[in-house]
Amino acid sequence: MPEHTIAENLARLQAARTAIGAAITAKGGTVDSGDGFEEFPADIAAIPSGGGATKSNVNFYDYDGTIVKSYTTQEFLALESMPANPTHEGLTAQGWNWSLADAKAYVAKYGEINIGAVYRVTDGKTRLYISLEEGRLSPVLGLGVNGSVDVDWGDGTSHGTLTGASTSTLVTISHTYAQGGDYVITLTAVEGTTMAVLGTNTGSLLFTKNGTADNNSKVYLTALKKAYLGDSVTSIGGNAFNGCYGLASITIPDSVTSIGSSAFSNCHSLTSITIPDSVTSIGGNAFNGCYGLASITIPDSVTSIGGSAFSNCYGLGFIRFGSTTPPIVGGSNTFANVPTDCIIYVPEGTIEDYTSATNYPNDSVYSYVEY
């Protein structure tokens, strides 16, 4: 694949910024210097990254999109082992989503690659990171539960309990905080209990005002900033996180086997996600409107992708497919409005299979690259 100069990369980043800003403006929002959509600096080396690294040919990304390690092509090819995973309290690193051998073979051929960190929750518990404003202090937590779950609200008060008989049926519990601020809600499932994140066609039911996803409840959807899903979560249902505009990062355990329709639709702040290889299907509209999503890896376990699953993902720079057999794509609009400079990575020897498969991006517009 061709090398890109700093100026070219900046131009591509700026084009994505412009598209995202236009989309937000079109929906009645505003874009100013406080939104995080400032003009990019003239020198790409001046772009900050939480891990202290700047973008190069080979980049290792944390689950939240932070670059934690970067190498030139030559530096990476000389490595004898992958860099250590970042450490996070409550998470156990599961390595990277590329092996060293596969990544080296790819870099030797194309000169660059992006690699993502994979985690599981260390103690198996689910943690929801929220930020509450004054005057909006009484969220209703809702989940599908088959069994019993202890709820630690993160403010030192008495715990609550969620009890249900089916992961497809919503059960709710409410709590009132004494003041606004940042809290971590910890969900501990009794042994044998399973959970699901649910929604309706009007949005997520995870955090609401009254247990329904009506417009009055949406004030609480923006409170969710980060989610660690534990081992007891077995499914992410339709609209599970739809409308969680402030959700920037999420870890998904390998206990999850499906991601439902519109599951992450309109999660405008979500920048990166690693789908575990336990997932076999991605529902329609699953990531529709995830303006900030920069890249996604679809593991070889996925056999079907619903219509509009990645529609309006204006910031996508690459999509990597893991399967040598193209997953069935359910609609011609599945990749609608993905930027035309988004690169589609497919396994070696499969370009013809992917480009001839139904409803994939047109190869006369998009670049397909083997790895």
Question: What are the pLDDT digits (tens) for 254-279?
Answer: 899 999 999 999 999 998 788 988 99
Q: Are residues 192 and 93 in contact, defined by beta-carbon separation less than 8 angstroms? A: no
pLDDT of residue 14: 53
pLDDT of residue 16: 52
Calpha distance 88→338 (Å, rounded): 32
pLDDT of residue 33: 40
Q: Which residues of the chain have pLDDT under 70?
A: 1-53, 217
Helix (H) or strand (E) holding 24, with range, is helix 6-26
CATH number of 257-371: 3.80.10.10
**Cβ density class 280-316: b for 16+ within 10 Å, e for less:** ebbbbbbbbbbbbbbbbbbbebbeebbbbbbbbbbbb
pLDDT of residue 285: 95
Calpha distance 237→261 (Å, rounded): 7
Sequence-ordered list of residues with C-beta below 8 angstroms from that of 238, at least 6 positions apart, any chain: 198, 199, 201, 260, 261, 262, 263, 283
Task: Using alpha carbons only, give the angle 33, 228, 252 rounded to the nearest 5 degrees.
Answer: 105
- What's the predicted TM-score (pTM) here? 0.75
pLDDT of residue 186: 97
Of 234, 272, 238, give the one whose Cα is nearest residue 253.
234
pLDDT of residue 283: 95
pLDDT of residue 177: 98
Q: For the chain, what are the domain ranges?
A: 6-115, 123-233, 257-371
